[in-house]
Amino acid sequence: MIGAGYWGPNLVRNFQGSPTFHLRALCDLDLARAERLLGRYSTVQATDDFATVLANPEIHAVALATPAGTHAPLATAALRAGKHVLVEKPLAATVEEGRALIAEADDRGLTLMCDHTYCYTPAVTRIREMLHGGDLGDVHYIDSVRINLGLVQKDVDVMWDLAPHDLSILDSVLPPGVHPVAVSAHGADPIGAGQSCVAYITLQLNTGAIAHVHVNWLSPVKVRTTIVGGSKRTLVWDDLNPSQRIAVYDRGVDVATPEELATEERRDILVSYRSGDMVAPAIPEREALRTMVDEFARAIRTGTPALTDGRSGLRVLEILQAASHSLANGGSTVALEVGE
């Protein structure tokens, strides 16, 4: 485990609790911090020497929870040392770095995985199953809000801090054959922080549908909601409502088909509205990080890609980089290249 700061302790706890992994070492530039995290009686080695970790033949995998700018060089070094690598979001600082990491892992036959934690929540798993299974019908729109009175970051803007969660969820749940093709972004820095503290990202999908992400560090209330509008049903996910995280509404707009419009009489009812039931499916409670750790183990053991593998991380990275370009150019639309 590399990094004992904000996110590192959560990963340490879940790797130590996993029956599959055995934590050998915790590496941090602040050795005292690593020692405090492990406690006085831990058998895990605390070190501030990354090279020593890579040279240890008993260490087969490395997890990185370090600043984004260090992800590419540290992950590259770990892959070249023959280690499987888990990287905290984002995968890297640039698309070029992300591509290089994927190539390095592919060449060496190693697992490269991005810790997009929200993709492993029971709620997102259920949303993915419903979209892939056609329960909601064709995707018409997705609207996601992630706002709170958050910590204003010094090295990244609000998009790079919060939007990776929503973009990784989008990448995870969209049905096969549906993907973003263009992005535009608008942001504001009303408090003079030096980077955007409020941002809106709009994604055009290849089907003609639209996805929208709102992220905000300045909201006095915390909101974590996602609405998925489908041709059959609409799903509302409220991550802050443990008693009803997901609600599925059989309410919406129906449009008459060309066959139904064969007569003048039918033309008068081109659009109709339906008002059906609302169902709140039971969602089990399980820590997402534990599921993510299990997926890392599965990918390593089977040699097959993880749900949030390097290519998934690259797709999210490309959207973020394109959104930054759009933001710097007054919200202009930027085409995406990574695709499916």
- What pLDDT digit, counting tens, does each position of 189-227 carry? 999 999 999 999 999 999 999 999 999 999 999 999 999
Beta bridge mates, 252: 274
Q: How far, in Å, CA of 183 to CA of 181, rounded?
A: 7
pLDDT tens for each residue of 292-311: 999 999 999 999 999 999 99
Q: Where in the chain is the domain with CATH 3.40.50.720?
A: 8-117+290-308
Single-letter code of the amino acid located at 29: L
Q: For residue 236, which of 273, 279, 193, 286 has the smallest C-alpha distance?
A: 279
Quick one: pLDDT at residue 269? Answer: 59
Query: Model-level pTM?
Result: 0.89
Could you tell me if 142 and 179 are in contact, meaning their C-beta atoms sit under 8 angstroms apart? no
Sequence-distant (6+) residues with CB within 8 A of 299 are 111, 113, 305, 306, 309
Strand order in the sheet with 112-115: 61-64, 84-88, 112-115
Sequence-distant (6+) residues with CB within 8 A of 293 are 11, 14, 15, 18, 20, 21
Question: Is the predicted pLDDT of residue 184 greater than 90, yes or no?
Answer: yes
Identify the sign of the CA torsion 75, 296, 94, 191: negative
Q: Given pLDDT bands bounded at 50, 70 and 90, which one contains residue 277?
A: confident
Q: Given pLDDT bands bounded at 50, 70 and 90, which one contains residue 259?
A: low
Question: Is the predicted pLDDT of residue 272 greater than 70, yes or no?
Answer: no
Question: Is the predicted pLDDT of residue 262 greater than 80, yes or no?
Answer: no
Q: Where in the chain is the domain with CATH 3.30.360.10?
A: 119-287+317-335
Q: What mean pLDDT is predicted for residues 248-255?
A: 76
Beta bridge mates, 279: 248
Q: What mean pLDDT is predicted for residues 57-80?
A: 96
Question: Is the predicted pLDDT of residue 252 greater than 90, yes or no?
Answer: no
Q: How far, in Å, CA of 55 to CA of 53, rounded?
A: 5
Q: For residue 18, which of 293, 311, 215, 296 has the smallest C-alpha distance?
A: 293
Sequence-distant (6+) residues with CB within 8 A of 176 are 132
Q: Given pLDDT bands bounded at 50, 70 and 90, which one contains residue 168?
A: very high
Q: What is 119-287+317-335's CATH topology?
A: Dihydrodipicolinate Reductase; domain 2 (3.30.360)
Q: How far, in Å, CA of 288 to CA of 89, rounded?
A: 15
Cis, bond preceding 90 (omega within 30 deg of 0): yes
Sequence-distant (6+) residues with CB within 8 A of 117 are 89, 165, 288, 289, 292
Quick one: pLDDT at residue 340? Answer: 43
Say how far residue 316 (Cα) sits from the centre of its chain. Answer: 7
Q: Given pLDDT bands bounded at 50, 70 and 90, which one contains residue 256?
A: low
Q: Given pLDDT bands bounded at 50, 70 and 90, which one contains residue 273?
A: low
Question: Is the predicted pLDDT of residue 260 greater than 60, yes or no?
Answer: no
Q: How far, in Å, CA of 255 to CA of 215, rounded?
A: 33
Q: What mean pLDDT is predicted for residues 119-130?
A: 96
To the question of domain 8-117+290-308 being in CATH 3.20.20.105, the answer is no
339, burial (CB in 10 Å: exposed 0-12, middle 13-18, buried 19+): exposed
Quick one: pLDDT at residue 329? Answer: 96
Q: What mean pLDDT is predicted for residues 47-65?
A: 97
Task: Quote the mean pLDDT of the chain.
Answer: 92
What are the helix (H) ranges across the chain?
8-16, 31-38, 50-55, 68-80, 95-108, 122-132, 158-173, 264-267, 288-302, 310-328
Round to the nearest angstrom and report the end-to-end CA distance of the chain: 31
Q: How far, in Å, CA of 60 to CA of 25, rounded?
A: 11
Sequence-distant (6+) residues with CB within 8 A of 184 are 201, 202, 323, 326, 331, 332, 333, 334
